[in-house]
Amino acid sequence: MSDWEHNKEIQLFREYLRIPSVHPDIDYTPCLEFLQRQARDLELPVEIYYPGGPNKPILVMTWLGQEPELPTIMLNSHMDVVPVYPEKWTHPPFAAEMDEEGRIFARGSQDMKCVGMQYLAAIRALKKKGATFKRTIHVTFVPDEEISGVLGMKSFVPTDSFCKLNVGFCLDEGAPTVNDEYKVYYAEKTIWYVHFTISGTTGHGSLLHKNTAAEKFQYILGKMLALRKKAEDLLESDPTLDLGNVSTVNLTVVKGGLQNNVVPPVIEATFDLRLSIDEDLEALQQQLKDWCEEAGGDIAIKFPTQDKKTPATVINDTNPFWVAMQNALRKLDLKIRPTVLPGVTDSRYVRQMNIPALGFSPMAHTPIRLHANDEYLQADTYLEGIRIYENILPAIANA
């Protein structure tokens, strides 16, 4: 453990993890101060932008390339982390304690303060070796990814400030793997939150009213759970598929009723849909409307979130950044698997600007603790990730 304790990169990682940039109502100032110190240490200039408002900073460090006119590389990570239930943790969630096995326990250790700090550690190592590259590298730290990035990356990409970065390729977060594979995510599913407001007959709880909200809800619920079952059946029947290949459906919120003996006039239900890249979105939306009519009508649909389908990043010989990254990983004898991310990240906003983006988090042999209690990352895994980025960055920055 003493070697880990005295490793500079481990120390900096733990310092970053101790900043409680946790939702809701995050003050990003401590993150900015910490990252500005890192930039000074790396001798990298910094710009801070506020496209989403005064409390939503985007920090950009820039390592100038030898041919700055070329499209640049963007290394993206987000500063925010999801809420915690401290009583459910065996270690304080923002203490970044490390046990005898080298496990660093903290919210953000996997998602995704690790990746942001690994970028900087790899740059530190490369600069120490005197490395220079053709392309400029921008390291971006953005807010609010965990709440859809509306005031973060989504607000940033349409601006002149983003345009001036001249981004030609983006690396962003991926996910851990429990085996020896490293997954590279070339696409993400489309996220829809579907909210049904189901109106029906109300009255005394002792009577059998017709067309109640509960009966209509039962019909809608059955149809939505049938979609869920379809995805489960596909995964069970084809071991080559994973969650990224199917559309998932989950009931997340139900509201209705005020008193035990009154039939509620309205039931509200919200479903979380993560739609596969080959899902026909127009056909699905029409199907939802048809089910509302079949259930008895008087049902309103709203979409708190209804993302458009984002084009996948091409992963063939026409994409020089993919070729460069793939070759770098293969030279390290790493097993790689291109796939679709089951969730969504800020990569979708970058891809919507017709910029190729890949999701990648170098955390193999790691239990998946994203958003979970006792989130942790093993110190050696973190250090190995730095070594991997030391090989990826020269490859893509010289592509």
- Side-chain half-sphere CA neighbours of 341 within 13 A: 26
Q: Rounded CA gap, 247 and 278, in Å?
A: 9
Domain extents for the chain? 2-174+345-397, 190-306
Percent of the chain topping pLDDT 90? 97
pLDDT band (50, 70, 90) for residue 3 = confident
User: What mean pLDDT do residues 275-281 have?
Assistant: 95
Q: Given 3.40.50.180, 1.10.1740.10, 3.30.70.360, 1.20.1560.10, which CATH number is that of 190-306?
A: 3.30.70.360
Q: Is the pLDDT of residue 331 over 80?
A: yes
Q: Rounded CA gap, 372 and 375, in Å?
A: 6
At residue 208, φ and ψ (nearest 5 deg) are -105, 85
Q: Which residues pair with 232 in a beta bridge?
A: none
Query: Which amino acid belongs to residue 363?
Result: M
The per-residue pLDDT for range 49-86, each reduced to its tens digit, is: 999 999 999 999 999 999 999 999 999 999 999 999 99
Q: What integer pLDDT is reported at residue 319 of this predicted model? A: 98
User: What mean pLDDT do residues 235-244 have?
Assistant: 93
User: What mean pLDDT do residues 138-155 have?
Assistant: 97
Q: Which CATH architecture has domain 2-174+345-397?
A: 3-Layer(aba) Sandwich (3.40)
Q: Is the pLDDT of residue 258 over 90?
A: yes
Average pLDDT, the chain: 97
Q: Is the pLDDT of residue 1 over 70?
A: no
Is 145 assigned a catalytic role? yes
Q: Is the pLDDT of residue 2 over 80?
A: no
Flag the least confident range among 63-72, 116-125, 240-249, 312-321.
Answer: 240-249
Contact at 8 Å (CB) between 290 and 282? no
Q: Rounded CA gap, 304 and 114, in Å?
A: 31
Closest by CA to 72, choosing from 129, 134, 115, is 134
User: What mean pLDDT do residues 309-328 have?
Assistant: 96
Q: Considering 9, 144, 145, 188, which one is annotated as catalytic?
A: 145
Q: Is the pLDDT of residue 369 over 80?
A: yes
Q: Rounded CA gap, 310 and 191, in Å?
A: 10
The per-residue pLDDT for range 189-200, each reduced to its tens digit, is: 999 999 999 999
Total Cβ atoms within 10 A of residue 68:
12
CA 221 from chain centre, in angstroms, equals: 28
Query: Which two structure tokens, joined as six digits, stand for 163?
Result: 């345009």
Which string of DSSP letters, residue by residue, matches 76-97? Answer: EEE--B----GGG-SS-TTS-E
Q: Rounded CA gap, 196 and 146, in Å?
A: 24
pLDDT band (50, 70, 90) for residue 45 = very high
Q: Rounded CA gap, 229 and 222, in Å?
A: 10
Contact at 8 Å (CB) between 93 and 17? no
Q: What integer pLDDT is reported at residue 296 of this predicted model? A: 97
Total Cβ atoms within 10 A of residue 73:
27
Q: Which residues pair with 266 in a beta bridge?
A: 199
Is 188 assigned a catalytic role? no
Contact at 8 Å (CB) between 193 and 270? yes
Helix locations, the chain, DSSP H:
2-5, 8-17, 29-42, 113-128, 153-156, 160-165, 213-237, 281-294, 320-331, 347-351, 379-397
Q: Rounded CA gap, 364 and 375, in Å?
A: 15
Q: What integer pLDDT is reported at residue 343 of this predicted model? A: 86
Query: Which two structure tokens, joined as six digits, stand for 195?
Result: 């909210």
Residue 6, H or E segment: none
Tell me the whole-structure pTM to 2 decimals: 0.91
User: What mean pLDDT do residues 206-222 have?
Assistant: 97
